[in-house]
Amino acid sequence: MSIVVRTLSERVFEVVRERIVIGKLAGNTPIRQDALAVELGVSKIPLREALARLEQEGLIVSQANRGYFVQPMTAQQADEIYALRLLVEPRAAADAAMIANDDERAAAVEAFRTLDHAAGTDLAAVAVSNRNFHTALVRPAGKLLTTQLIERLSILAERYVVAHLKPAGRESRAHQEHQALLDAWLARDAGGFESLLTAHIQATLDDLRQQFSAAT
């Protein structure tokens, strides 16, 4: 596949992905392929490739003879994503804190700064920056499969992160929790860090459960 087609495919992927993550395209919304192709000025080849990637990420689903639809957010999926994160991420990141080198520690600090800069201005950037921050705390452990799993879970969690941050005051709390996490991680306080990250993930899940409950 040519570089031009790949570039166009990436463009479509990023545009649609952002609209889904920030909630502009709600669950069960059909993806109007013809209209999208005209809007973005692309042909069917890069469009199909982008939609296939979005389906792999779990953001859209194809239905026979009906096309693609946005995968709805559900309380069940939130429970599954965050339960898996609780099982794997706190211990993995605590282990990483103990062996991270100077470059990896600097990368974690930079990931936090990028997240902090995005907060309050760009929900899509917040979602991606949040994923990058959490992954930066895990990567130094050198466990490739664990890192890939956590990054995959973080990708699936991005829409839920955005939904969680919308109520007033949530971004301020998230900033304080992320700062505390970074401080404990840099201090190589594995036990304290693991407790903080467990509480951070659990609190997000608890909030999401309340939001879903209130919406029903």
Query: Which CATH code of 3.90.420.10, 1.20.120.530, 3.30.505.50, 3.50.50.60 fits the domain covering 75-215?
Result: 1.20.120.530
Instruction: Give the pLDDT band (50/70/90) at residue 4.
Output: low
CA–CA distance, 73 with 63 (Å, rounded to integer) = 17
Q: Where are the domains of the chain?
A: 3-70, 75-215
pLDDT tens per residue, range 112-167: 999 999 987 788 889 899 999 999 999 999 999 999 999 999 989 999 998 998 88
Architecture of domain 3-70: Orthogonal Bundle (1.10)
pLDDT tens per residue, range 74-127: 999 999 999 999 999 999 999 999 999 999 999 999 999 999 999 877 888 898
| Mean per-residue pLDDT over the chain, rounded | 92
Q: Which one, of 148, 151, 137, lies nearest residue 92 by Cα?
A: 137
pLDDT at 75: 95
